[in-house]
Amino acid sequence: MPTPPTDLHTFPRPSVAVDIAVCSVVPDIDGEMHLAVLVHRRETRTETGRWSLPGSFVREYERLADAVDRTLRDKAGVEGLHPRQLLVLDDPKRDPRGWVLSVAHVDTVPMSDAIALIGGTDVAWAPVVVGDAPAGALDLPGRHRSLPFDHEVIVTEAVADLRRRYAERPDPAGLLAEPFTVLELRRVHEAVAGERLQKDTFRRAMLPGLRETSGPVSGSVGRPARRYRRA
């Protein structure tokens, strides 16, 4: 809390927006799973036609998490997520229209909803580029190479946040529907991490955070895998 002025309204106030890196794990043509970020094609004056992260201005007395939920509902028809704050973007020149602060968030959608979510051609999943690409680089549709504004900073932080959390615990963001097998879990973690993980080490690291389910085991071929839920 600041030292209050005699009147709040004597202070200039910035516009405040939320920008969101919505993440999920989606398959490519070959069935390989990849961490991807939701981008949409800009239809408005600034940077029209480029792909960017969804965002919107915060309404009066609205909580930031609610602004995130509302934005995703309106722009992508997604519900019931768990946004996490990443950082505030405060460069006074970041928006040509004026003084706009943006609170960047990361959020996730379950893999089962990810594909259905892409309705038209104005929304897409852009895989995170793995390897030694520039930080925050996405594999955008068409021949687009980069995100506008400071959105690459947001992607960088979002990916770092997810990787940190997934290194600790099994599927903390709930990308995978329960119950699941350790193999399914590992595929998701590999997609997030952007690298292969060892099957035995991975299993032992994750087991303390899992509860075995007694439910029936399905198996196409080979020994049927046990199924688990998050503990």
Partner DNA sequence: AGAATAGTGTCTATAAGACACTATTCC
Partner DNA sequence: GGAATAGTGTCTTATAGACACTATTCT
Q: Which stretch binds DNA (CB under 7 A): 40-48, 115-123, 172-180, 202-210?
A: 202-210
**From the CB of residue 140, how many other CB atoms can be counted at a distance below 10 Å?**
19
| Residue 3 interaction partner, one of its own copies, DNA, none, beta carbon < 5-8 Å per kind | its own copies
Binds DNA (CB under 7 A): choice among 205, 209, 213, 230: 205
C-alpha–C-alpha distance, residues 156 and 162, integer Å: 10
Q: Is 95 in the site for its own copies (CB under 8 A)?
A: yes
Binds DNA (CB under 7 A): choice among 56, 85, 156, 181: 181
| Three-class DSSP labels, 104-139 | EEEEECCHHHHCCCCCCCCEEEEEECCCCCCCCCEC
Q: Is 49 in the site for its own copies (CB under 8 A)?
A: no
Give 40 or 169: the residue with its C-beta nearer to DNA. 169
C-alpha–C-alpha distance, residues 81 and 20, integer Å: 12
Per-residue CA distances from 163 to 32, 142, 158, 169, 173 (Å) = 18, 27, 9, 10, 11
Q: Is 198 in the site for DNA (CB under 7 A)?
A: yes
Q: Is 55 in the site for its own copies (CB under 8 A)?
A: yes
Q: Is 4 in the site for its own copies (CB under 8 A)?
A: yes
| Residue 198 interaction partner, one of DNA, its own copies, none, beta carbon < 5-8 Å per kind | DNA
Q: Which stretch binds its own copies (CB under 8 A): 51-59, 121-129, 156-164, 193-201?
A: 51-59
In sequence order, what E strands does 73-223 have?
84-89, 100-108, 123-127, 210-213
Q: Is 226 in the site for DNA (CB under 7 A)?
A: yes
Are 16 and 100 in contact by the 8 Å Cβ rule? The answer is yes
Q: Which of 184, 38, 16, 28 is nearest to 107 (CA)?
A: 38
Binds DNA (CB under 7 A): choice among 82, 144, 203, 230: 203
* Contact set with DNA (CB under 7 A): 181-183, 198-201, 203-205, 219-226
